[in-house]
Structure 1
C-alpha cells in the first residue's frame, strides 16, 4: 500500500486550513494548533518543513506568522508532497535514474510513477480545499 507520512498529511491539513480561512491573514503556529487540534510542536515542525520547501513564507516580527508562498491554485499536491518527503517515487526503480538492477521492470514502473506524478501535479491546493 502506498501511503504518505503523517507529517505530510498534517501539512495538507494545515495548508487547506490556511487556503480556506482568510487567505490574506498571517497564520501563527499556536493559532493553527488550536484551530486544527494538532499539537503545537508538530505544527511548528510542519510549518518549518513547508517553509524550507517553498510552499510557505515566514514573516518575522511580533505580528509575524506564515502565509502561502503563492496562490493556492498554483500549489500542486505533488509540490506539497515533494517539499516534505522528497521526490515522488513508488519504487526505487521508478525514479528517473532507475535502480542498480537495471531490469526490464524499471521502464514500466517509471511509466506508472509518471502517471501518479501527473495526477498529483494536476491537483492544486485550491482543488483540495474546495473538496
Structure 2
C-alpha cells in the first residue's frame, strides 16, 4: 500500500509538473493546493530533491521545480525513494529481503511465491509509468500501462 508520504510526494510532483517551464512553486503553495501538511511536505520535498527529482532555488523567484522533464521521472523510482521496496511482504523483496520467522522453507513457500508475482506486477506497472503519464489524459494513461496479461496473472 502506498503510504501518505508516497501519496503526498506524488501529489507534489504532479503539482510541479503542471507548472510552465522555468516556473517554481513554494512549499506553502504546493501544500495549500494539495491539502498536505506543510511540515511533512517540507521533509518529503527535501528527500525528492536529494534523490534528484527536484531542484530548489532560494530567494525571490525561488521555490521548487522538477529537475528534469516529467517524461523522464518514473513513478516506480519515486515510490521506491519515498516508501522503500515495492514487495507486499519482506520475503518477496529483491532489495530488503528478510526470511519470515514462521517459514520453514522460503523456496517452497506458496505465499512468498504468490507475493513475488504481485511484486513483479506492481513493479512492471509503476516502472512503466512516468510523471507525464499521471498528468496526461485517460487514454494516454491506459496506453502507458503494460500488457493487461500482467494484471490478469495475479487477479
Shorter-chain TM-score: what band?
0.7 to 0.9
Give the deviation of 1:107 after TM superposition: 4.0
Distance (whole Å) between structure 2 residues aligned to residue 91 and residue 44 of structure 1: 29
Structure 2 unaligned regions, length at least 5: 138-155
Q: TM-score of the superposition, structure 1-length normalised?
A: 0.83
1:63-114: per-residue Cα shift (whole Å, max 9, x none)? 3221112111111111110111122111111112643242413344323312
RCO higher in structure (CA 8 A, sep ≥6): 1
* Structure 1 contact 96–110 (Cα < 8 Å) conserved: no
Q: Considering only CA atoms, is the larger Rg found in Structure 1 or Structure 2? A: 2
Task: Spell out the pairing of 1:62-101 with structure 2 (5 A cutoff).
Answer: 62-96=60-94, 98-100=97-99, 101=103
2:122 counterpart of 1:116? yes
C-alpha distance in 1, partners of 2:119/2:37? 33
For these two proteins, the number of residue pairs brought into alignment is 129
> Counterpart of 2:108?
104
Report which stretch shifted further, 121-130 or 106-115.
106-115
In angstroms, what is the RMSD of aligned CA positions? Answer: 2.0
**Which 5+ residue runs of structure 1 have no aligned equivalent?**
none
Runs of 4+ displaced beyond 6 Å? none
